Amino acid sequence: MASSFASFFAKDKTFRPKKKFEPGTMRYSLHKQASASLKSGLDLKEIVKLPDNEDEDDWIAVHVVDFFNRINLVYGIVTDYCTPESCPTMSGGPRYEYRWCDGIKYKKPTSLNAPKYITLLMEWVETIINDESIFPVQVGTPFPKNFRSTCKKLLSRLYRIFVHVYVHHFDLGTPFPKNFRSTCKKLLSRLYRIFVHVYVHHFDRIIDLQAEAHVNMCFKHFCYFCHEFDLLKKEEMAPLFEMTNRLCPEVLGVVK
């Protein structure tokens, strides 16, 4: 199941262009590691745990971007059916309506139709994950074709750079900002609202497309990860309490 889930979410049909990691970077390596774990069929509760000797903020950054891409695909399934006419508000049933506020154009919580709300939300998320002051990225430089022949010379001199950096500049790297964790919590909290809307208003379409298992797996992965690193409050999960209780009760503190 996990393997088919991974292949389903590797498809190119998305609501918005996918955010990709730069090959050769640590972030890319972590992304490949996480993707390989999903394809291996391992328990999702284990997959979300921080790998040994890895930075927790890097791990979270990778997953925020990954969830952005996966939720992109989830919403892409129903985007033709989620219209201003069919979904005049961004809601999760009659009891829950989400209003948009970005502090710039929408300075007060504003009721919007679901497609408009989700478009603004994804643009907002994308702007933040592309901001290197929040999500720092190091771009790797490819080696030349004659790399093998010059390897010893290159490494000998590169080693000198390591010496200089470690001795004089090791505290001047690119750290995550102090508000990184709170920013991720806000991102994931708002991304969760798309799950709410899709499950409540478009799940019949998910079933028609035989995508229920894939969407459920994505939802479980999201919930387990947020639970593992305390990134989503339980009260924020209230709109899908029954669904969460059925799919991953441990997240709610329920023991089967």
Annotated binding site for Zn(2+): 82, 87, 197, 202
Q: Which residues are annotated as a binding site?
A: 82, 87, 197, 202
Sequence-separated (6 or more) residues with CB below 8 Å from residue 106: 100, 120
Q: How far apart are alpha carbons 144 and 146 in whole angstroms?
A: 5
What are the Cα distances from residue 26, in Å, to 23, 40, 227?
9, 21, 24
What are the Cα distances from residue 115, in Å, to 3, 54, 88, 118, 195?
30, 37, 9, 5, 13
Please, are residues 61 and 27 in contact by the beta-carbon 8 Å criterion?
yes
Tokens representing residue 213 in the block: 């298992």
Please, are residues 35 and 74 in contact by the beta-carbon 8 Å criterion?
no
